[in-house]
Amino acid sequence: NAGVTQTPKFQVLKTGQSMTLQCAQDMNHEYMSWYRQDPGMGLRLIHYSVGAGITDQGEVPNGYNVSRSTTEDFPLRLLSAAPSQTSVYFCASSYSRTPTRGGYTFGSGTRLTVV
């Protein structure tokens, strides 16, 4: 089925550990982005990419790195995990940064706990 696939679904990290959250889409979308969702807050943009080889920072980029070597994949790296990064992370994709039809397609999320 076409869509956005995120792995893993759940992860527990110790403070200071690093890890990569994977995101892949098979819809040939140029635009991909990462959000975090915390209780009582709206989704906040971490990083985004308008195409392979192009990435940029969103609202809350500190502590995270991204790369976009292919159209399909957009991994999010936590460099040195901190308890403040405990959150649910969503990857999204679209044919455009500002689609006028449909909307973003979101993955099912990765629930990350940093202890």
Partner 1 sequence: KNQVEQSPQSLIILEGKNCTLQCNYTVSPFSNLRWYKQDTGRGPVSLTIMTFSENTKSNGRYTATLDADTKQSSLHITASQLSDSASYICVVGDSGGGADGLTFGKGTHLIIQP
Q: Which residues contribute to the site for partner 1 (CB under 8 A)?
A: 4, 33, 40-45, 48, 56-59, 90, 92, 97-109
Shortest distance in whole angstroms from residue 3 CB to partner 1: 9
Shortest distance in whole angstroms from residue 16 CB to partner 1: 28
Q: Indicate the residue among 19 and 43 with the shorter CB distance to partner 1.
A: 43
Given a contact cutoff of 8 angstroms between Cβ atoms, the answer to whether 77 and 107 are in contact is no
Q: What is the token pair recorded at 107?
A: 């993955």
Residues 6+ apart with CB under 8 A from 101: none
Q: Indicate the residue among 14 and 101 with the shorter CB distance to partner 1.
A: 101
Q: Indicate the residue among 7 and 17 with the shorter CB distance to partner 1.
A: 7
What sign does the dihedral 48-77-23-70 (CA atoms) show? positive
Closest CA to 90 of 26, 44, 30, 27: 44
Shortest distance in whole angstroms from residue 85 CB to partner 1: 19
